[in-house]
Amino acid sequence: MTVLHVPAKWHLSPKQVLSNYLAICKIKVVLMLVLTAWIGIALAPDMQRGWVSQVMSLLGIGFLSAAAAAINHIVDREIDKKMARTRHRPIASAQLSITNALLFALILSILGCALLIIWSNLLCTILTLGALVGYAVIYTLFLKRATPQNIVIGGLAGAMPPLLGWVSETGTLSAPPWLLVMIIFTWTPPHFWALAIARKNDYQRANIPMLPVTHGVAFTKLCIIAYSVLLGIVCLLPYLIGMSGWVYLSSACLLNAVFISKSINLYWHQSEQQAMALFRFSISYLLILFIALFIDQWLLQ
């Protein structure tokens, strides 16, 4: 009798299956995106929409962001196999089939669109779908493989949620939420390039033209300093147009002082730990900055 050898990865427990689906959603990133969308809602003019509509709109934005992340895992599976950081990902390591992942992304997209159409509005649905296409198709399929400016241009998709939140509330496009988009847009290059410096060998092996690979680590560090200074200036705008108060301003000044000093510090140090420290700080930075925006709004009311 022939005994078939069944690889261990085919015997996944329900917990492992769930954790694989959560992993392809990039759940922590999505939670951060939803938080920034929520701040967009909180800062919008009060439309008396009620919290149920707001929660459903945030779920819709979250589902479409998770769908975008799942498509990114499918499209990038060959690249992911070549990089130490990503080779254990569920699709790259064949623990999750492409068909199941595609089906999952499709279900998330349909649910996300339905939630936004029912509880939000058509403009918000179209813009969120635009962000999905921007990240999952334009960035992942084309820009990532084509130019070291990939994450600068592609960063616009990830920067959209505050605008999406605002539009879900108001149904119209207006200037103030674009300032919040500009903050995340300017934050993205130092956020990512810090990690790319530490993982340069990975990107080189996968033949992905990230800035440290194409232009070297020293030049990338200079770009990080330039963007962190620009970020410091952009962060002043919400206060200058009266969108926020002293809590935000003082938090922003402190956070940006740390960001710029860590960026300059990175320039003078060779170690990967310094780069990873800046990457990790960039995440705490954005979290605290947006919470400060919320506290200010709450105090101003």
Ligand X SMILES: CC(C)=CCC/C(C)=C/CC/C(C)=C/COP(=O)(O)OP(=O)(O)O
Binding site for ligand HEM (CB under 6 A): 28-29, 32-33, 36, 85, 139, 151, 154-155, 158-159, 184, 188, 191-192, 195, 283, 286
Q: What's the min distance (Å) between Cβ of 1 and ligand HEM?
A: 44
Please say whether the beta carbons of 99 and 91 come within 8 A: no
Q: What's the min distance (Å) between Cβ of 264 and ligand X?
A: 25
Residue numbers 12-31 binding ligand X by CB under 6 A: 26, 29
Q: What's the min distance (Å) between Cβ of 276 and ligand X?
A: 14
Classify the C-alpha dihedral 58-60-66-71 as positive or negative: negative
Kind plus residue range of the DSSP H or E element containing 30 = helix 27-43
Question: Among 237, 166, 222, which Cα is nearest to 189's?
Answer: 222
Alpha helices for 150-245 (secondary structure H): 150-159, 161-170, 176-198, 200-205, 211-215, 217-234, 237-240
Check residue 76 for interaction with ligand X (CB under 6 A). yes
Q: Phi and psi (nearest 5°) for 149? A: -85, 10
Q: What's the min distance (Å) between Cβ of 294 and ligand HEM?
A: 15
Q: What's the min distance (Å) between Cβ of 285 and ligand X?
A: 16
Q: Which stretch binds ligand X (CB under 6 A): 124-132, 259-267, 268-276, 292-300?
A: 124-132
DSSP letter for 232, please: H
Select 90 or 155, whichever has its Cβ closest to ligand HEM: 155
Token duo for residue 124: 């918000």
Considering only residues 23, 24, 33, 217, which one is a binding residue for ligand X as defined by CB under 6 A?
33
Check residue 40 for interaction with ligand X (CB under 6 A). no
Q: How many degrees, rounded to 5, is the angle at CA 181 between CA 44 and CA 80?
A: 130
Question: Among 232, 231, 204, 230, which Cα is nearest to 217's?
Answer: 204
Check residue 135 for interaction with ligand X (CB under 6 A). yes
Considering only residues 42, 132, 180, 289, which one is a binding residue for ligand X as defined by CB under 6 A?
132
Which of ligand X, ligand HEM, none lies near 76, with the C-beta cut-off 5 to 8 A by kind? ligand X
d(CA 251, CA 129) in angstroms, rounded, equals 33
Provide the binding-site residues for ligand X, judged by CB under 6 A.
26, 29, 33, 64-65, 68-69, 72, 76, 86, 128, 131-132, 135, 144, 157-158, 160-161
